[in-house]
Amino acid sequence: MPTIAFVVFDGFYSMALAAQSVFEFTNVELGEPFYEMFNVSVSGGCVRASSGLTVLTEAIDDRVFDTVIFPGSNPADVGPPLAVLDYVRRSAETARRTASICTGAFVLAEAGLLNGRRATTHWYYAHDLRTRFPSVTVDDDRIFIADGPIWTSAGMTAGIDLALALVENDLGAKVARAVARNLVVYHWRTGGQSQHSALLELEPKSDRIQAVLTYAKQNLTEPLSIESLAEVARLSPRQFSRAFREETGQTPAKAVERLRLETARLMLEDSRHTIDQIAAASGFADLRRMREAFIRVFGQPPQSFRRNARAVTS
């Protein structure tokens, strides 16, 4: 039976414990215990999270776990106890997998486990991780990354995606998808998915421009000309173009391209669709134009995103 240990210390982010539900419902889906979970800490007893939640833990000892997961905390606060860092190093030698959720990547990096590896963390702290640990290749635009036996995830709810990927790694995609459905996870994000949402990043200030973006997102296969978008906003094309740029900092054409790229990028993680089908479904006129847009914005063609997504879950 694979054993999963969550290693916590005072001030940890309690949101990371949401990942435990993935393993719990995997047992439910299988109809028998498969995973066994433990909360452990340096001294055992009650450990207080940053939210004030108190978690009862067992003391760290010499027990070997299959998978050891390190939740994060605010890296600007006092770091994890030295005993935790020592345990990171010791447990990594015996565990099949070592993982971090959110800023737990700082714990792994401090212990030296991320040297020479690719890793991710919450986008807000990615620059700090990159600066403090230059030997780590930080990719702040990934939901999770598996580099050998070391797994790292982005912030907050990305821990659920990481846990689902661990389940898939153990039991296959069919079981992981069933667990995601039971958890009412709207969209199970694979590792290659961006942490960022184009709709959120554009941040329109008015309902009028927000309505245009929502309309564009829902109608990507349409031409989405300035005239048609201006009609949604109930403005003249000139007024609309000016208002759109003032509110989002981008032209309507660039914003529509970002929405199409985001949609195509998500679909590339689903191997059931061919790249030609993805180009059509995301509103690109043809594969050539989609490829050009990918290289211009991301620096690599669509095929690379598909290969990376498959490599993460293989």
Predicted confidence (pLDDT) per residue in 219-265, tens digit: 999 999 999 999 999 999 999 999 999 998 889 999 999 999 988 98
The architecture that CATH gives domain 3-182 is 3-Layer(aba) Sandwich (3.40)
Residues labelled as active-site residues: 102
Predicted confidence (pLDDT) per residue in 70-122, tens digit: 998 987 675 788 999 999 999 999 999 999 999 999 999 999 999 999 999 99
Distance (Å, whole) CA 310 – CA 314: 6
Query: Topology of domain 198-313, per CATH?
Result: Arc Repressor Mutant, subunit A (1.10.10)
Single pTM value for the model? 0.66
Residue 270 has pLDDT above 70, yes or no: no
The pLDDT of residue 271: 59
Residue 46 has pLDDT above 60, yes or no: yes
Domain ranges, ordered by start, for the chain: 3-182, 198-313
pLDDT band at residue 155 using 50, 70 and 90 as cut-offs: confident
**Residue 263 has which token pair?**
């949609």
Question: HEC states along the chain?
Answer: CCEEEEECCCCECHHHHHHHHHHHHHHHHHCCCCCEEEEEECCCEEEECCCCCEEEEEECCCCCCCEEEECCECCCCCCCCHHHHHHHHHHHHHCCEEEECCCHHHHHHHCCCCCCCEECCCHHHHHHHHHHCCCCEECCCCCEEEECCEEEECCCCHHHHHHHHHHHHHHCHHHHHHHHHHCCCCCCCCCCCCCCCHHHHHCCCCHHHHHHHHHHHHCCCCCCCHHHHHHHHCCCHHHHHHHHHHHHCCCHHHHHHHHHHHHHHHHCCCCCCCHHHHHHHCCCCCHHHHHHHHHHHHCCCHHHHHHHHHHHHC
> 3-182 and 198-313 share one CATH topology?
no
Q: Are 103 and 113 in contact (CB under 8 A)?
A: no
Q: Are 104 and 72 in contact (CB under 8 A)?
A: yes
Predicted confidence (pLDDT) per residue in 32-45, tens digit: 999 999 999 999 99
- What single letter denotes the amino acid at residue 48? R
Residue range 8-31: mean pLDDT, rounded: 95
